[in-house]
Amino acid sequence: MIIGHDIAGIREDAAGRASIDVVDPADGTVIGAVVAGDAADVDRAVAAATTAFGPWSTTPMSERIAHVEAIAAGLDRHRERLAATLSAEMGSPIAFARAAQVGVAIADLAQLVDAARMHVERESVSNSLVIAEPVGVVAAITPWNFPLHQIMLKVGAAILAGCTVVLKPSEVAPLNAAIVGEILREIALPAGVVNIVHGDGVGVGAPLVSHPGVDMVTFTGSRVVGESVAREAAATIKKVALELGGKSAAIVLDDAPLEDSVRSVLASCFANAGQTCAAQTRVLVPEQLVEAWQAAAVEVAAGWAPGDPKDEGTATGPVASTLQRDRVQAHIATAIMQGARVLTGGLDIVEPTAGGAYVQPTIFTDVTPEMQIFHEEVFGPVLTITSYATIDEAVDLANDSVYGLSGGVWSSDPRRALDVALRMRTGTVGINGAGLDVGAPFGGYKQSGIGRECGVHGFEEFLELKSVMGAAALIGDDS
């Protein structure tokens, strides 16, 4: 059965429509299909969102919050189904899908609700009344690596702010979004507040970004596609939020706890088969610690051997598609050709399940800034080790990137680690293994993107500010 769009609160009939197969990357089998949308579908969805915007934008915040809390409860109610779906459509190990794919999405909504509760809609600034208003109709384009997490960050923040949404989920992993559509109907979210249009970038993404009825585009994906989105949105001067790629560095200081730093860095790099934009994929290690760090890394990497994602004990599943596998293997082959030394992993792999898109978790050493692997985002389970002589050199190496999304610092002295973290040109830095905090702003410097997601700052991305000059004394006056 082909899954249709969700427009104006109705799951549309997809009979007779062209479709896109959804493939399980663990074995290459087709597990479902979604309709291949087009510009006419986008027009209908934008029209529905436009119609819904007026009443939704004036809905009291308490009611918006109640709807978002109901969405979170729906995710929890369907947790096992969502986890199994995510595992099947993009390869996340089932335990990881349950905790990180679904669990983090629920936590996203809780933090956004807290932000909405604290929101001050009107304030006096100088001699003006300043009002925060919803930006309007939002086009949300989400990726395949953490699809549910990204849907909730964008949709949750937008509708709490009073916006309406047209969501285009990734065609690689769209089945979880279809379940979200079911949840929205279960909770009786008003028709047109959230619309879901399936399809690829050409058929749906491009006409959605350029649509004159869309006021804002929020996109998560590759830097290359992000540039295209920004260019297309510029034609109508839309507000744009972009969360793009990363090539994040972990700096291990000379007093860092060896085992803890190794386990944490490898977890950051290898979790979700390395398909994490904020993964710490470059580790910078003092010259005197390199041999010990390498030996420990090889030992720990053995625990990340690929397995069937349906097994509870699997740490590394397949990457999301055979196309992604081929891209990752091309990066590995280039690194070997350019002189990087393989400590573990590489191009050879025995597939846990036949026909799967597996990549062996790989660690390279002797990696220098002249190599492509030092700079290019692989988006697979590939870690590089580079040695340094001084802290200044380590900071320079960490900042030697067009990206600036994430990073880490390891030291037995947290204040020493903080001093180094403050010198890193990146949107987030974890000290001694601290991971994603969905209550704090997440986003990047440089070519890692524009804007922030999560918590208060993610909520505020979907607001516009209006200054009413001469009205400061009227704050609180509803007349």
Catalytic residue numbers, as ranges: 243
Neighbours of 11 (CB within 10 A): 15
The Cβ-side half-sphere exposure at 401, using a 13 Å CA radius, reads: 31
Residue with tokens 């100088």: 126
Q: How far apart are CA 99 and CA 104, in angstroms?
A: 7
Smallest CA-to-CA distance from 40 within 211, 171, 175 is with 211
Q: Which amino acid is at 73?
A: A
For 270, left (φ over 0), alpha (ψ -120 to 50), or beta?
alpha
Q: How far apart are CA 197 and CA 451, in angstroms?
A: 24
Smallest CA-to-CA distance from 101 within 236, 298, 276 is with 276
Please, what is the angle between helix 147-160 and helix 79-90, to 10°? 130
Q: How far apart are CA 376 and CA 390, in angstroms?
A: 24
Cβ-based neighbours of 476, under 8 Å, separated by 6 or more: 122
